[in-house]
Structure 1
Amino acid sequence: MHKNEPLLSVIVPVYNAEKYISQCVNSILQQKHLALEIILVDDGSLDESGTICDLFAKKNYCVKALHIKNGGIAKARYEGIKIAKGRWVTFVDADDWISENAYRDICFEDDCDIVVTGICEYTNDGREIMHMPYFKEGIYEREEIVSEIIPIMLWNSRENTWALDPSLCTKFFRRKDIQKQLEKVSKVGSDFGEDSMVIYPMMFQVDRIRILKKIYYFHRLRPSGVLPPYIIDEEFIPKLYKVYEYLKDEFRKTAYWDFMKGQLDCFFINSIELKKHCFEYSFFEFAAFFPIEKVSRGSRVILYGAGELGIRYWKQNSLYHFCDIVSWVDRAHEDKQIDNCIIESPEVIKEREFEFVVIAVDNYYIAQGIVLYLSELGVGGEKIVWHSTRVNRQGMKSIFDILKKVSEPVMGQ
């Protein structure tokens, strides 16, 4: 490292953060006893964030302001690291902050590749929720990384969550190592799961990690009742599958794919469980998912059943457009209307053109009775679709087959 070059580059992606960016940058400027640079990457903000970044750069020689076209946090981080000079790199989100002298205890000279620390979640009512690293404090050599960290990093069955928090903001990296991974992820074009796509593949490449059971980073939680954007994103499942496929491809390049594939499935099934506006029950207990593994994407479908399961199927199809529901029928159809859709008598099946009838009933015996009734109407067995919605962890493969179909484009679009 040259005499005037910084030891640490702190990259701050900024998008519409005018309310918080000053607190964020000032907390970094408070760091002492360390040669650092701060790179503010204005990711096409529509508010005054870009102007604030420029003001900080004018007043502080260690601050650089970079303005780019909006491309998401992964792209912003990569553009920042391309102009970074520090031997080490870390990240701070524009609405978060760090404690005073946070970087003083980081041993940048102990020849580690990554340093992992904890995080404090700060609620809008002033409560602090501490999250320490799961692993014991200390240095982990390559053999220990393989034997102790990698086997549970995505999914720790004791805690029913990851053992290694994917957040890049609680970690310090050698710039030359993470720059390659950031470049790859920036080309994926995903605005979801970027941290996971960076940190987990890197664990197969590094030789020495330091776990530090201390908290320097403060993450601002949204007000109670306000869900993160990715939870309410209508493209949640296609984006989730994109991340899943990326990690699967990365893990298959390693010697550890046999035990990583189970971790990967658990990690992402847990992500699906967060999708509250689509699933009201635990995914492991009741996977009320439209049976698109048995229905061609974009085909004409009659939905049979207007109970709870039928409503779920209807709403899921409205979100993800699996197929064209030409009629929604139920024997108890009189004066029944759901989401401005009139429920019709099953007798209309004889008049409709369709490829499939999807039976939205969970009870096996009731479903078989409907199958018999449809047969009497002349509907062939190859057109009748019903499946049990009860699944367990052994059913994950079929679930991810479903995710793949959700992510496929509709023919003609």
Structure 2
Amino acid sequence: MVQVSIVVPVYKVERFLERCIRSLQGQTLREIEIILVDDGSPDGSGAICDTFAASDSRITVIHKENGGLSSARNAGLKVATGKYVGFVDSDDDVLPDMYEKMAAAAVQYAADVVMADYQRVLADGTCFPVSKEIRAGLYRKEDLVQEVFPALIMGENVDYGPLLSACHCIYDRCFLETYGICFAEDVKWSEDNLFSAYVGYHAERFYYMKGAYFYRYYQNPNTITTGYRPGAWAVYCRMNRYLRAYFLEKQDYDFSRQIRLHLLYYACNTLGMECANARNLGDAIQRVRPILNDPELVGAMHGFSLPAVGVKLKIQLWLIKHGWVLPVTLMMRRRFRHA
């Protein structure tokens, strides 16, 4: 019986793919299935997947037209048969005992979700551990409401809460199916933010393996998590609309402020990205103006009290809230020039 299904979206990663697959083949938990989803990759990644599958019966390969990371994860999720499911990005790798220890914790604590920590590996090989600012151990529903819900979507510091990346978690597959939780295929970036919010809201039992740095996240150039993203603001607004539609109707907890903070966070993110990629000041202004004037951002900021953050960020947020195009542009360009 398959204990853990591991879904690996594959796209233009032929340089890193073998490292990822071998780390999964080397898991001390043998009852796994490795689902490699070739998302229409134009390089040799699909052939690499087939080569590994030919020599390992635990590997299944799906070849599909390109649809993006969410589409690839959903394709793998549909064919998964394990009691638990995990997701690994194909340019990363994991430690050998990751899934054995996480599955054991899931069984021991009857958890819907188990989360571990991870290591961030920079381009120069420097590695440092990343942990969350919440306690270790088991969270029952009342604990989740008190300790996780206040930053489930976005924290008051205008940053992600403790639940974000799907890659250092495993999920009870029946739990995901019961609540129809999958990835929004028209949200091309930061899709984990949406997925994890749904998961965190519905989970009855969550277990955090604090200090267990099983997953290794590599900062590789030209991957989906780096570089300029044309049309990002439209994607982030779409994600925010999904959150509004899903969470504003909830009667058991008020998520309304977090949803505004969410849009503000992504406004800062997109404004910085656009200014960093502008040719000159005039080009930057042309990129900034439509975001600050967007009715969704204007509406979210109407009557909104700014969070208690540091002085520089507070000024930046105040300027964004009041739609001051030139000061926002100058501040963002200065910030990225000295980054």
* TM-score of the aligned structures, taking structure 2 as reference length: 0.78
Question: For residue 173 of structure 2, what is the aligned residue in structure 1?
Answer: 175
Question: For residue 134 of structure 2, what is the aligned residue in structure 1?
Answer: 135
Q: Is this contact kept in 2: 1:116–1:172, CA < 8 A?
A: yes
Question: For residue 45 of structure 2, what is the aligned residue in structure 1?
Answer: 49
Provide the C-alpha distance between the structure 1 equivalents of 2:75 and 2:83, rounded to a whole number of angstroms: 16
Q: Does 1:278 align with 2:274?
A: yes
Q: Is this contact kept in 2: 1:154–1:264, CA < 8 A?
A: yes
Q: Does 1:71 align with 2:67?
A: yes
User: Cα–Cα, structure 1 residues 184 and 31, in superposed 2: closer, same or farther, change >3 Å?
Assistant: closer
Q: CA-to-partner distance for each residue in 1:261-284, whole Å, 9 max, x for gaps? A: 21222233223323324347xxxx
Q: CA-to-partner distance for each residue in 1:329-353, whole Å, 9 max, x for gaps? A: xxxxxxxxxxxxxxxxxxxxxxxxx
Question: For residue 154 of structure 2, what is the aligned residue in structure 1?
Answer: 155
Is the partner of 2:106 in helix, strand or coil?
coil
Q: Is this contact kept in 1: 2:240–2:262, CA < 8 A?
A: no
Is the partner of 2:203 in helix, strand or coil?
coil
Provide the C-alpha distance between the structure 1 equivalents of 2:183 and 2:205, rounded to a whole number of angstroms: 23
**Post-superposition offset of 1:104:** 2.7
Provide the C-alpha distance between the structure 1 equivalents of 2:321 and 2:292, rounded to a whole number of angstroms: 20
| Letter in structure 1 aligned against 2:260 | D
Provide the C-alpha distance between the structure 1 equivalents of 2:213 and 2:274, rounded to a whole number of angstroms: 35
Q: CA-to-partner distance for each residue in 1:147-170, whole Å, 9 max, x for gaps? A: 11111233334x652222411001
Q: Does 1:200 align with 2:197?
A: yes
Q: Is this contact kept in 2: 1:11–1:90, CA < 8 A?
A: yes
Is the partner of 2:148 in helix, strand or coil?
helix
Q: Does 1:263 align with 2:235?
A: no
- The answer for unaligned runs of 5 or more in structure 1 is 281-306, 323-389, 400-413
Q: Is this contact kept in 2: 1:234–1:320, CA < 8 A?
A: no
Q: Is this contact kept in 2: 1:181–1:198, CA < 8 A?
A: no
- The answer for unaligned runs of 5 or more in structure 2 is 295-314, 325-339
Q: CA-to-partner distance for each residue in 1:94-113, whole Å, 9 max, x for gaps? A: 00000122223222312100
Question: For residue 302 of structure 2, what is the aligned residue in structure 1?
Answer: none
Question: For residue 34 of structure 2, what is the aligned residue in structure 1?
Answer: 38
Q: Is this contact kept in 1: 2:74–2:182, CA < 8 A?
A: no
**Post-superposition offset of 1:120:** 1.0
**Post-superposition offset of 1:139:** 0.4
Is the partner of 1:204 in helix, strand or coil?
helix
Q: Is this contact kept in 2: 1:201–1:247, CA < 8 A?
A: no
Is the deviation greater in 271-280 or in 121-130? 271-280
Question: For residue 213 of structure 2, what is the aligned residue in structure 1?
Answer: 215
Q: Does 1:86 align with 2:68?
A: no
Question: For residue 113 of structure 1, what is the aligned residue in structure 2?
Answer: 112
Is the partner of 1:145 in helix, strand or coil?
helix
Question: For residue 23 of structure 1, what is the aligned residue in structure 2?
Answer: 19
**Post-superposition offset of 1:16:** 1.1
Provide the C-alpha distance between the structure 1 equivalents of 2:154 and 2:235, rounded to a whole number of angstroms: 20
Aligned-residue RMSD, C-alpha: 3.0
Provide the C-alpha distance between the structure 1 equivalents of 2:253 and 2:136, rounded to a whole number of angstroms: 27
User: Cα–Cα, structure 1 residues 185 and 27, in superposed 2: closer, same or farther, change >3 Å?
Assistant: closer
**Post-superposition offset of 1:396:** 5.1
User: Cα–Cα, structure 1 residues 392 and 272, in superposed 2: closer, same or farther, change >3 Å?
Assistant: closer
Q: Is this contact kept in 2: 1:32–1:104, CA < 8 A?
A: yes
Which has more radius of gyration?
A: 1
Q: Does 1:185 align with 2:157?
A: no
| Letter in structure 1 aligned against 2:140 | E
**Post-superposition offset of 1:82:** 1.1
**Post-superposition offset of 1:193:** 2.2
Is the partner of 1:185 in helix, strand or coil?
coil
Q: CA-to-partner distance for each residue in 1:91-134, whole Å, 9 max, x for gaps? A: 00000000122223222312100001111110111111211122
Q: Is this contact kept in 1: 2:293–2:323, CA < 8 A?
A: no
Is the partner of 2:75 in helix, strand or coil?
helix
| Letter in structure 2 aligned against 1:272 | A
Q: Is this contact kept in 1: 2:181–2:199, CA < 8 A?
A: no
Provide the C-alpha distance between the structure 1 equivalents of 2:145 and 2:291, rounded to a whole number of angstroms: 41
Provide the C-alpha distance between the structure 2 equivalents of 1:20 and 1:173, rounded to a whole number of angstroms: 25
Higher helix share: 2
**Post-superposition offset of 1:191:** 1.0
Matches within 5 A, 1:385-400: 392=317
* TM-score of the aligned structures, taking structure 1 as reference length: 0.65
Q: How many residues align?
A: 296
Provide the C-alpha distance between the structure 2 equivalents of 1:227 and 1:317, rounded to a whole number of angstroms: 28
**Post-superposition offset of 1:316:** 4.2
Q: Does 1:313 align with 2:313?
A: no
- Which residue of 2, 20, 27 maps to 1:6? 2
Is the deviation greater in 69-78 or in 175-184? 175-184
| Letter in structure 1 aligned against 2:46 | G
Provide the C-alpha distance between the structure 1 equivalents of 2:237 and 2:106, rounded to a whole number of angstroms: 36
**Post-superposition offset of 1:194:** 1.4
Q: Is this contact kept in 2: 1:154–1:161, CA < 8 A?
A: no
